[in-house]
Amino acid sequence: MKIGLDAMGGDFAPFEVLKGAIESAQDPELSNIEIVLIGQEDVIQKALNDLATDEKFTIINAPEIIGMAEHPTKAVSQKRHSSINIGLKMLHEGELDAFAGAGNTGAMMVSSLYTVRAIEGIIRPSLSTVLPKIDGSTGVMLDVGANSDVKPETLKQFAVLGSLYVQHVLKIENPKVGLLSIGEEKEKGNLLTQAAYPLLEQLRNIHFIGNVEGRDLFNEKADVVVCDGFTGNIVLKACEGFFYNLIKRGLRDDYLMRFNFENYGGTPILGINKPVIIGHGISKHNTIVNMVKLAREVVLTGLIDKIKASL
């Protein structure tokens, strides 16, 4: 299995990405993985020399870099030889089994849609985040920022995508799907959630349990929580800020540490034709290793084919 890594993606690239690649190559769990590094060849080679590693990698030269603050659509169209564009082109042409990066999230999304393309029938691909449950299990919430404004039919598809992801990658049978709202009653919520509720009720290939509230995100009530990307991103960033504030105050707790994004590596773009994993911009080497593991899991489980079959 070949997994491409954007060596130039993220605030700490290329060193942290390369350190993660080296650790992945040395991990017995990943012994069947060939990591392909995509980026500025001279920069990558110098960094590998500085890291004094004996590991050998295939390096694909990509002379251009899409910065974290660049406009996604403009950067993708103008920088055709960027590590993101070249990596996704290789994925599309079958030269890679998966592509992962911690660079510009918007650029990863835009380039994925232009190059790999959405699965036929998908209205909008989605990004998810993990929900650490108090009972030790893990759920997901989607969307968390890729789609700020959506239609009820889009939330319906998010429910299917999230359910398949949790079932096959997180190994939760018959996952419970909840619609994030301001009350449990069917009539509660804004126009979007009120219109989406009956659509989710009609689905026979998911286990829809009705509305869930913000207080239910981390208990056992739902394994998949569906919302628009505007709401999801606010929830995600609020939890992230709360986590870092507690860490700054010196709190250390096993459950609290499960909110550390480094434990999960990233999130797949759900609803496109090939496995693409997006990581946090501040990812360091251990996060990169977990990103590679997630990419491998998405490939091995055949998640993309299962989504296509479901649609």
Q: Taking Cα atoms as reference points, which of 139, 143, 81 lies closest to residue 109?
A: 143
Where do the H-state alpha helices sit in the chain? Answer: 15-26, 41-50, 72-78, 83-92, 105-115, 152-168, 191-202, 229-248, 254-257, 285-300, 303-310
pLDDT at residue 310, rounded to an integer: 85
pLDDT in tens, the chain (311 residues): 999 999 999 999 999 999 999 999 999 999 999 999 999 999 999 999 999 998 999 999 999 999 999 999 999 999 999 999 999 999 999 999 999 999 999 999 999 999 999 999 999 999 999 999 999 999 999 999 999 999 999 999 999 999 999 999 999 999 999 999 999 999 999 999 999 999 999 999 999 999 999 999 999 999 999 999 999 999 999 999 999 999 999 998 999 999 998 889 899 999 999 999 999 988 999 999 999 999 999 999 999 999 999 87
Report the candidate in 27, 23, 32 with the shortest Cα–Cα distance to residue 2.
32
Quick check: helix, strand or coil at residue 68?
coil
Residue 199 located in a structural domain: yes
Nearest-CA neighbor of 291 among 299, 301, 281, 279? 279
| Domain assignment of residue 34, given as a range | 1-122+271-302
What is the bridge-based pairing of β-strands 276-278 and 267-268? antiparallel
Q: Indicate if 250 and 145 belong to the same structural domain.
A: yes
Q: How many domains does the chain have?
A: 2
How many helices (H) and strands (E) are present in the chain, helices listed first? 11, 11
Closest-CA residue to 179 (of 145, 204, 216, 148) = 216
My answer on whether 111 and 215 are in the same domain is no
Any idea which residue has 């649609």 for tokens?
311
Phi, psi of 277, deg, nearest 5? -110, 130
Co-location of 131 and 252 in the same domain: yes
Contacts made by residues 80-86, CB under 8 angstroms, sequence distance 24+: 82/107, 83/6, 83/7, 83/8, 83/9, 83/38, 83/39, 83/40, 84/6, 84/9, 84/108, 84/111, 85/111, 85/115, 86/38, 86/60, 86/62
Q: Are residues 90 and 158 in the same domain?
A: no
Report which residue type is found at 9. G
- Residue 252 falls inside a structural domain: yes
Q: Is residue 294 part of a domain?
A: yes
Q: Do 163 and 174 lie in a common domain?
A: yes
Amino acid found at 142: L
- For the question of whether the overall pTM of this predicted structure is more than 0.85, the answer is yes
- Together in a domain, 77 and 30: yes
- Say if residue 167 is in the same domain as residue 80: no
Q: What is the pLDDT of residue 262?
A: 86
**280 and 195 together in one domain:** no
Residues 184 and 160 in one domain: yes
We report the CATH number of the domain holding residue 291 as 3.40.718.10
